[in-house]
Amino acid sequence: MTLVVRVAQVLLGATLAAWVGPAMLAPDVPRTAGLAAALVFLATLWRPGAGLLLVAGLAPAASLLAPPPARPAELLAWALFSAWLLRVWPPLAPRGPDTGAGGRAVTTAAALYAAALIASWLMLTIAGAAGVPVRALPLFLFQSIPTDHLVYSSPEPETWTLLQSLTGMGLLCASTAIVRGDPRLRRAVAWTLVGALAVLAGATLVDIARQWAGAQYGAWFLLRYVRGERASLHLRDLNAAGSLYVLAGLTSVALAMLEPRRRASWLLPLLPIVPALWLTGSRTSFLAALGGLAILAIAQRRWPLTRRQATVSVTVVGLVLLAGAATMEWQPDVQGSAGRAASLRSQFLETTARMFVSAPLYGVGVGRYFDRSAQFMPAALRELYGNENAHNYFAQQFAELGIVGGLLFLWLVAAMVASGWSAARERPSDATPGVVGLFAGMSAYLLTCLTGHPLLVSEAAFPFWIACGALVGGMDTPPRLPYRNGALVAAACALLAVGVAWATLSYARVTAPPSEQGFHGIETAPDGTAFRWMTRHAVTYVSSDAGFLRLRARAPDITLRRPLVVEMAVAGEVVDRREIPAGRWLTYDVPVPRPSSAPFRRIDLRANQFTTQETRLGRRRAERPIAAMIGGIRWISLEEVP
């Protein structure tokens, strides 16, 4: 490893450690989450494989370690990255960070997909930087990623989605390199994922049993779940929980099939996983589990299937699916019926198609689907949901990243599937059961992405990326993919660079102030003052002349863990920080003496914390973020000063 690479490695590791350390000690992060991150950090310094297994086991339950807005899953992953990068005394693996031929195919595709995510974020952020002079643009981009992201999350969806997705790509590459250094870890990753999900599934069943005991063991309580009520202890997104159970369940089934001596040990985790999967009520997960069983039957080599047997297996699975479909309620107007679900999915596809057509080349921007969805929804769907994700992660990638980023994501998926298939079909060895199990679980998980979005949930996404990295990490045979085609890589990078350049040109051409962002509608305070709630980050625009910015603000009348502080940046430069009191209005002036050459100035207001307030979103109840009450923002030019 060259000196330049080592220096870059240490700098990146130190940067991540500078984010992770304060988050571990932050008073708003529960001690359990901070201690778990510290344990991951120390274990990784000792042995990277130990840190990887800890993240694989703890990530599915991360939401139990710390509630929103903290991001405990990212905290664990970043603790792994920082310690792994700071381990400069030994190499990252016995031969350096070698990922093998199969791993290189996946990591190359992951790097290109990460480049598409970064380019999309840059396009959005630069194009929205109107009012910030060119000299202040680098600082503005740096400030757009809050240093307390792990504690309070990023206010903009494009930023938290970018950081979450890049964390997933980092886990994929780290898992690939670490397992390459110690192939025995592949089996350990499988054991860890199955064991962690079995424990969480058992905890869900115990929690329901506890509630049943509180209801005096009434039969009516259990009938709620028979009639379709859904439950999951560790994840609010029940479909994402189903995807995780499918990943672990298929891995367990494969290992039980291919390791007769340990069959009982591998079948035991299925006892809680199967009923917990049923409790999620995820139809997609049920179908994906059946599809995964078919993939497992074809991929394993212990009992090779003839073409006739493979055809019969696929036919049987198809008949089971048809039988299941025949027993479902298909009335499109019945709440919870399969027909209703199919009707909604078709409307979501229509929404996604409209969004894609509006920006086919580069998409509407990473993380922007949810906020933009209401503009493209059919009226009936908009009335029901207000805003929602696509319920198809593949389609959502094309809508957000356009055809360029969408194809790069498909390239990544194709590389993982092709590399996993090649690994599963290699000459049988002691590692074969774990390889086949992870491949079947990965494939079934990807099937759930066709009608869901588990990769948008950190707790469900990170175990998947770790499993994929472990699957291809020890593979020596490259898949039949053009991952070494320099022309394709160069073309993808050139298209992304053109997109960023176009966004920069659009930023330079803006001559009129855009619309404000980060404010809710006008309301009236108890004292009769008209105000607007600002979210954690709000943007407005003022004149380019020299003058004063007068702000009237008030903190919410609730108990906060620490004083509310609002930071003000003018044209990308921080000019004021002020503590905002509760119970009374504070009016203050911020001088801006220098005139700007731009036609207007951008004003950024950033709060150090926020809370949530219940509101309506379509026919659902949701929570909106609120930080400070803004009674008025007024620009006073020097000509107005007596």
What type of residue is 521?
Answer: G
Q: Which residue has the higher pLDDT, 428 or 337?
A: 428
Tell me the pTM. Answer: 0.90
Looking at residue 340, its pLDDT comes to: 62
Dist. CA 243–CA 266, nearest whole Å: 19
- Residues in CB range of 92: below 8 A, 6 or more apart: 48, 84, 177, 178, 181
Question: How many of the other CB atoms lie within 10 Å of CB of 252?
Answer: 27
Distance between CA atoms of 273 and 278, rounded to whole angstroms? 9
pLDDT of residue 386: 81
Q: Are strands 517-524 and 530-543 parallel, antiparallel or unpaired?
A: antiparallel
Q: What would the pLDDT profile of 300-333 be if each residue is shown by its tens digit?
A: 665 555 555 456 555 655 554 554 444 444 334 4
CB 350 within 8 A of CB 395: no
* Residue 232 to residue 176: CA distance in whole angstroms: 30
Tell me the per-residue pLDDT of 448-505, one tens digit each, with 9 for 90 and over. 998 889 999 999 999 999 999 999 886 666 666 555 567 788 888 999 999 999 999 9
Q: How far apart are CA 368 and CA 475, in angstroms?
A: 36
Domain 517-640, CATH 2.60.120.260 — does that match?
yes
φ, ψ of residue 632 to 5 degrees: the values are 170, 145
* Percentage above 90 pLDDT, the chain: 42
Task: Tell me the pLDDT tens digit for each residue of 395-447.
Answer: 999 999 999 999 999 999 998 998 888 877 776 655 567 788 889 899 999 99
Residue type, 119: A
Average confidence (pLDDT) over 269-297: 86
Best CA proximity match to 537, nearest among 237, 222, 156: 156
> Within 13 Å and on the Cβ side, how many CA atoms surround 255?
30
The per-residue DSSP string of 354-390 comes to HHHHHSTTT-S-TT-HHHHGGGTS-HHHHHHHSS---
The 8 Å CB, 24+ separation contacts for 49-53 are 49/178, 49/179, 49/181, 49/182, 49/185, 49/188, 51/79, 51/80, 51/83, 51/84, 52/80, 52/174, 52/175, 52/178, 52/179, 52/185, 52/189, 52/466, 53/185, 53/188, 53/189, 53/192
For the chain, where do the domains classified as CATH 2.60.120.260 start and end? 517-640
pLDDT at 320: 47
Nearest CA to 75 out of 450, 357, 459, 379 is that of 459
Half-sphere exposure of residue 412: CA atoms within 13 angstroms, side-chain side: 27
Q: Which residues contact 57 (CB under 8 A, 6 or more apart)?
A: 192, 193, 195, 196
Cα 391 to chain centroid distance, Å, stands at 14
Alpha carbon 600 to its chain's center? 35
| Helical ranges in 228-337 per DSSP H | 238-258, 263-267, 270-280, 283-299, 307-327
User: Which band of pLDDT confidence, cut at 50, 70 and 90, is reported for residue 38?
Assistant: very high
Backbone angles phi, psi at 576, to 5 degrees: -160, 145
Most confident of 43-57, 225-239, 608-622: 43-57
The mean pLDDT value of the chain amounts to: 84
* Stated length of the chain: 642
Report how far residue 62's alpha carbon sits from residue 458's, in angstroms, rounded to the nearest whole number.
Answer: 9
What distance in Å separates the CA atoms of residue 198 and residue 155, rounded to the nearest whole number?
34
Cα 463–Cα 468–Cα 474 angle in degrees, nearest 5:
130
pLDDT at 6 over 90: no
Q: How many Å apart are CA 94 and CA 474, to the nearest integer?
A: 13
CA distance 107 to 242: 27
Q: What is the percent of the chain where pLDDT is above 70?
A: 86
> In what helix (H) or strand (E) does residue 345 lie, and over which residues does it extend?
helix 338-358
Q: What are phi and psi of 539, to 5 degrees?
A: -130, 135
DSSP 571-604: TTEEEEEEEE-BSS-EEEEEEE-S--SSSEEEEE
Average of pLDDT values for 27-31? 90
431: β partners: none
Backbone φ and ψ for 608, nearest 5 degrees, come out as -80, -5
pLDDT score of 192: 94
Q: Please report which confidence band the pLDDT of residue 97 belongs to, taking 50, 70 and 90 as the band edges.
A: very low
pLDDT at residue 319, as a whole number = 52
Residue 590's beta-bridge partner residues? Answer: 549
Task: Give residue 308's Cα distance to chain centre.
Answer: 41
pLDDT tens per residue, range 514-570: 888 999 989 888 888 899 999 999 999 988 888 888 899 999 888 777 889 999 988
Instruction: Say how far apart CA 51 and CA 424 lie, in whole Å.
Output: 26
Each residue's pLDDT tens digit, 338-360:
556 667 778 888 999 999 999 99
What is each CA distance from 220 to 223, 286, 337, in whole angstroms? 5, 25, 21
Structure tokens that stand for 497 in this block: 């660079």
Residue 513 has pLDDT above 50, yes or no: yes
| Whole-angstrom distance, CA of residue 168 vs CA of residue 366 | 15
| The amino acid at 381 | L
Side chain identity at residue 503, one-letter code: A
Cis peptide before 138 (omega within 30 of 0): no
Helices (H) and strands (E) in the chain, counts: 23, 10
Report which of 459, 564, 537 is spatially closest to residue 68, judged by C-alpha positions: 459
Pair 472, 417: CB distance under 8 Å: no
- Angstrom distance (rounded) from CA 105 to CA 304: 27
